[in-house]
Amino acid sequence: TPLEELKKNISVDLEVLWKNNIGEHNGENFDIFKSDNFLFAATSDGVIKKLNIETGDTLWEKNVEITIASGISGDSENLFFSTLDGFLWCMNHDGELIWKILLEGIVNSLPIIYDSKIVVKINSYKIIQLNVKDGSVIWKYQAAIPPLTFKSEGKLAYSDNVVYLGLPGGKLIAIDSPTGGLVWEANISRAKGATDIERANDITSHPVIDESVIYGITTNGDISSLNRRNGKTIWTLPLSSFYGMVFNGSSLFVTHDNGSIYSLDKNDGEVEWRQGALQYRRIRTGTLIQDYIVFGDYDGYIHFLSSASGSVLARIKLDDSQILNNIMEIDNSLVILMTAAGEIICLKVGEQIINDELEV
């Protein structure tokens, strides 16, 4: 088997603990939400399941019978997701509906929850803060957008009473959470070209926050480090990405559009290493676990790279469909992921994966 072949090249087992198929869907990236020892996952056709994280057993299943546009996020009591008819739903962890509210558009990216508030971005780039308890609207902020944009899957970010969001045109904005007022707006990179298509240059990925600094990257331009207090640029590097980056405290790991992986020093943007072995395998954002970065590809493989050198240390084929952009690290020993065929897989990762570098 692929797993037995892989074990010959590594010094620790990669063990599939369980699988649970929640149903095929359209391949959109739905985050899996973890709370205590449970997982909550959804498919685009409206099926939501609660799973036991240790066994993968289904504890309950609900079908809302309408296409889900984004989900699932939550807090210690509630689950949140949006549907294609413009509703934002709130369920408790037993799957019982608490409330749902009709918004002014469709939520295509995951909401964020903090301090009994939930903030969503609808497809018109209006940002809305609501009360978690009853769904009542607290404030709205309408961002300006150019005539042509990507269908963004980017996520909001929050820290210290400020909500951050990347926008079309290479802009990053900071919004005051208590009031909904604009704190600052900054350009990660400026649009180039004569036509709207050439000038399309959005921030579609999750901004990364590191204490007093925030990092953003555009789809057709640059990655920049900004001062969170005033939005002033600290450094900029010509490097673009649709899916974005992950951060381990010292380095930014960027997934380029063609599948190359870059490691950048957080202080000055200097390239520490580049790995091109996964080019054109449709990899998305990486996930950090132990000393590795994990990527899934279009053919159902999951790849482990050294965060220090970028070397490909291990890989295993888990399915015949795309690994989605929702790989989750749990307790520094487990990886949870979902495939485009709806297969949720729990993979146990040992402490070491190094023997010989593998060829891809």
Reading across the β-sheet that carries 137-142, which strands appear in turn?
A: 112-114, 117-121, 126-131, 137-142
Nearest one of 148, 153, 144 to 193, comparing CA atoms? 148
Contacts of 1 (CB under 8 A, 6+ apart): none
Of all residues in the chain, the percent with pLDDT exceeding 70 is 86
AA letter at 360: V
Q: What pLDDT, on a 0 to 100 scale, did the predictor assign at position 3?
A: 41
Question: Mind listing the pLDDT tens digit for each residue in 108-147?
Answer: 778 899 999 999 999 888 999 999 999 999 999 998 876 5
Confidence band for 194, pLDDT divided at 50, 70 and 90: very low
- Of residues 154 and 33, the one with the higher pLDDT is 33
- Stretch among 101-105, 149-153, 267-271 having the lowest mean pLDDT: 149-153
Whether 318 and 18 have beta carbons less than 8 Å apart is answered as no
Would you say the pTM of this structure is higher than 0.85? yes
**CA 213, CA 231: separation in Å to the nearest integer?**
9
- How large is the average pLDDT for residues 210-222? 90
**CA 182, CA 117: separation in Å to the nearest integer?**
18
- Other beta carbons within 10 Å of 130: 23
Confidence band for 8, pLDDT divided at 50, 70 and 90: very low
Q: What pLDDT, on a 0 to 100 scale, did the predictor assign at position 354?
A: 46
Q: What pLDDT, on a 0 to 100 scale, did the predictor assign at position 336?
A: 96
The structure tokens 């891809």 sit at 360
Measured between alpha carbons, how far is residue 277 from residues 267, 289, 359 in Å? Answer: 26, 20, 8
- Of residues 205 and 187, the one with the higher pLDDT is 187
Question: Mind listing the pLDDT tens digit for each residue in 230-280?
Answer: 999 999 999 988 888 999 999 999 999 889 999 999 999 999 999 999 999
CA angle (150 as vertex; 144, 211 as ends), nearest 5 = 70
**CA 41, CA 39: separation in Å to the nearest integer?**
7
Average pLDDT of every residue of the chain: 87
**How far is CA 218 from its chain centroid?**
15
Q: Which two tokens stand for residue 270?
A: 């200097």
